[in-house]
Structure 1
């Protein structure tokens, strides 16, 4: 019985910790301190919590969080249970470094060990779920090596991966 009580206490502790993280992240964007955030900032909040949903998945999450009549704002009491479920289930986890490297290697058909900004721009705007111009510029500013002018994807993949122990 004691083991079951410890397990329950541990689960409650984890839940409380997750909900505190969610609350802290939400509060940063709750500029008017009224338990609402601009719907356009929800993706940033979700990503700050270590989740990487696609734009389609984010759109579905927003639909679940919005009011019957969308107001342009998301209320904390709608955000919290959905985000708690996502974090408890460990959904939308970022890809591990080895998987990112394999993806870059597929794009680097000549095995040069790098990609040009032009290559990556083409792939990110013409294939799959296209990046917006803003997303592309943000990525390139972080990815392009300032000295060589190319994306040294081995270095970039390690920057993009998340340390699960943190």
Structure 2
């Protein structure tokens, strides 16, 4: 029983170290606070993929009663530890992402153009912002052919956390 408790404590300590490290990247003033606009990036860097609505719910949980535009580490840390322990907002498996790209590739050519992908992701569903599109395209587009080979991109988008 003691081994289980030690293992759980070690897991929590490791998760909290990862959270603090990710938070510190955006804590430019070294005052244990980050701009509220960076929280989504921090959460995603920790392997979670909440929707914009879910992200707003998380922000509501950690914001001060009178929003300051900054999130404090002492509020963020317990919330994010709980999210990671509960394995919430896990990314979709590679096969699901691949099937989604295949639906968009109606001619089954194995790739999408930048224009096609931009159209789908900015005009359908929960639209990407211009900044999100640029960031994704910088990682997704094959620089030589100027297209997105979605099988490779789907593999890159997933994380192995078995």
- C-alpha distance in structure 2 between counterparts of 1:56 and 1:114, whole Å: 30
For 1:8, which of 5, 12, 15 is the aligned residue? 5
Deviation for aligned residue 1:43:
1.0
Deviation for aligned residue 1:163:
2.1
Structure 2: stretches of 5+ with no match in the other structure:
none
Give the secondary structure class of the aligned counterpart of 2:116: helix
Q: Deviations over 1:51-102 (max 9, x none)?
A: 1111111111111110000001101111011000000011111112111111
1:26-37 alignment to 2 at 5 Å? 26-37=23-34
Give the secondary structure class of the aligned counterpart of 2:98: helix
Aligned to 2:21: 24
Aligned to 2:106: 109
For 2:139, which of 134, 139, 142 is the aligned residue? 142
Aligned to 2:45: 48
TM-score w.r.t. the length of structure 1 is: 0.93
Aligned to 1:131: 128
Structure 1: stretches of 5+ with no match in the other structure:
none
CA RMSD of aligned residues (A): 1.1
The alignment covers a number of residue pairs equal to 162
